[in-house]
Amino acid sequence: MPDWLIKVLGVIITDQEYPVRPAFSLLTKMLDEFISKVPQSSFQNPSAISFPEINTYIQKYQDPRQADAIMKVQQELDETKIVLVCAVLVIAACHQ
């Protein structure tokens, strides 16, 4: 089988609240690492495949805001915006 034709499938099942972006990020990273670490020859015997890294990924992606850099930055921006709005309101109240 050519190297570019690797038949691997990943599935993620989440609730409706879990963001799509980190789910796809998790799936992509996990499949890339799986393909790089698990030899294709072991695909013939799935029960013999060992991929302990899956536990690390599952743990890391429990909180999607911490796992996904863009979501983390967005959360920080949202928090900063709230602080700035509060500061503007306090300043406006002081000048009335």
Q: Which pLDDT does position 54 carry in this prediction? A: 92
Q: What is the DSSP letter of 38?
A: S
Q: Which pLDDT does position 53 carry in this prediction? A: 94
pLDDT at 6 over 90: no
Q: Does residue 47 belong to any structural domain of this protein?
A: yes
Q: Does residue 57 belong to any structural domain of this protein?
A: yes
Q: Does residue 15 belong to any structural domain of this protein?
A: no
Q: Does residue 1 belong to any structural domain of this protein?
A: no
Counting the structural domains of the chain, the total is: 1
Q: Which pLDDT does position 3 carry in this prediction? A: 58
Give the predicted TM-score (pTM) of the model: 0.64
Q: Does residue 5 belong to any structural domain of this protein?
A: no
pLDDT at 1 over 60: no
pLDDT in tens, 13-46: 999 998 888 898 899 999 999 999 998 888 888 8
Q: Does residue 7 belong to any structural domain of this protein?
A: no
Q: Which of 71, 39, 74, 25 is nearest to 12 (CA)?
A: 25
* Residue 53 burial (C-beta neighbours within 10 Å; 0-12, 13-18, 19+): middle
Q: Does residue 28 belong to any structural domain of this protein?
A: yes
Domain of 35, in residue numbers: 20-94
